[in-house]
Structure 1
Amino acid sequence: MSDIKNQIEQEIENARTVCSTEGATSSECAAAWDAVEELQAEAAHQRQKHPEKTSFQQYCDENPDAAECRVYDD
């Protein structure tokens, strides 16, 4: 995940550079910011695939015999 964060930061810097040289209303500027948005969407998608565990889930992983962590099958 840190790799995609680095890519996002690089693309943001690239977009700022392109927009400062080509102009904020240029198609090149818009394309550069589109690349940033695509990477941000991919990062969000990856977070949804692998959500971080909640504190309760971590507690239950460490204490599976705790009363609040027991799971009963019907």
Structure 2
Amino acid sequence: MSNIEQQIEKEREQARNVCDSKGATSGECAAAWDAVEELQAEASHQRQTKPKTSFAQYCDDNPDAAECRLYED
């Protein structure tokens, strides 16, 4: 399991404990679940990053190749 997934699981457990001890309608309970939602949003954002194309990877590996050269005015 990835690091962020472990953090999400840890925060979920903490949120459950806070809600059990403080009550489901308490501000602490809401804040704990907000922390879980923030981590889930970050995990989703990380999954959406697009991998480099084969051409971009080739240019990273071979910056002097003719097809990878950038010319400035």
Name the TM-score class by shorter chain: 0.5 to 0.7
Q: Percent identity?
A: 73
Matched, 1:24 2:24: yes
After TM superposition, what 4+ stretches of structure 1 lie above 3 angstroms from structure 2?
none
Deviation at 1:28, TM superposition (A): 0.1
CA apart distance, 1:50:
4.4
| Residues 9-50 of structure 1 deviation map (CA, whole Å, 9 limit, x = unaligned) | 000000000000000000000000000000000000000014
For the aligned residue pairs, the C-alpha RMSD in angstroms reads 1.5
In structure 2, relative to structure 1, the CA distance for the partners of 1:7 and 1:50 (3 Å cut) is farther
Structure 2 unaligned regions, length at least 5:
52-73
Alignment-mate amino acid for residue 20 of structure 2: S
**Whole-Å Cα distance in 2 between the matches of residues 50 and 20 of structure 1?**
40
Q: How many residues align?
A: 51
- Cα distance in 2 for residues equivalent to 1:50 and 1:5: 20
Gaps of 5+ in 1: 52-74
TM-score by length of structure 1 reads 0.66
Q: Structure 2 length normalisation: TM-score?
A: 0.66
Q: Which residue of the partner structure matches residue 45 of structure 2?
A: 45
Q: Aligned to 1:36, what secondary structure does the other structure show?
A: helix
Q: In the aligned structure 1, how far is the partner of 2:13 from the partner of 2:49?
A: 27
Amino acid at match of 1:13: E
